[in-house]
Amino acid sequence: MSNVLCVIAVERSLASYFLNDYEKKSRFWIPITIVLVDQSFNFIVSYFFYLNYVPFFYMIIITGTPNAMAICLMIHSQNYNRKVTKTHEKYTSNYSLAARFQAKENLKCFRMIKKILIAAFSIVVFGFFVAIALFLNIFPQMDTLWNLCLLAVTSLPPLVICPAIIYSVDSFRNYPFLDCFFIKLKVAKVTSVPRKRSSARSEDIQRETETYFNQLAASWT
């Protein structure tokens, strides 16, 4: 689990590198290579850690280095996809419909990862302070509560982060059994009055729509 961030960063970076045909062309070697490298790395690190071949401090560095590299990789990929999107919005670019769609999907993925990282960091910080309270015996009459909080911190991240990742998929989010949870929100939602758009903006949207459908028709022929 320590390399999940690195795996996602590498996959999204490859999606940015093969921006023009990532969703269109099958590249089965990408997930196979990522999974094999990740599992091999985890197995080797776990083996040396279990047998105490490497000091604990160096194990933390070895484990944290891929995640630090993953953050830098995601920042670079996010800036690249944002540049592609802004370039097409300002000027008539040569990026195809598939490339622009993939760039926007990558940006959505990076925004989701940012929220998950903030939530995970908050959980880790909370658990760190709870551990300090237990170690220093602060408020000993609340030890039971501190232990419950520490158990919640160690158990809740998979229950919070995994559904957040799954919920980002449209097919899961639109599944019928979720309607009962959101039906009241849909009923109570206040519809906002649509603003009138300028004629220039309407022409830009119409021109963009025509470009989309022309490229889509050309890709089918």
Nearest to 98 by CA among 11, 15, 172: 15
For 75-128, the pLDDT digits (tens) are 888 888 888 777 766 766 666 676 777 777 788 878 877 777 787 778 878 888
Lowest mean pLDDT among 32-46, 104-118, 159-173, 180-194: 180-194
pLDDT tens sequence across 190-220: 554 445 555 666 676 677 677 666 666 665 5
Whole-prediction pTM: 0.58
> Cα separation of 145 and 152, whole Å?
10
How many C-beta atoms surround the C-beta of residue 186 within 10 A? 8
Q: In sequence order, which residues have a C-beta less than 8 Å from that of residue 111 and are 6 or more positions away?
A: none
- Looking at every residue in the chain, the average pLDDT score rounds to 75
**45 vs 57: CA distance, rounded Å:** 13
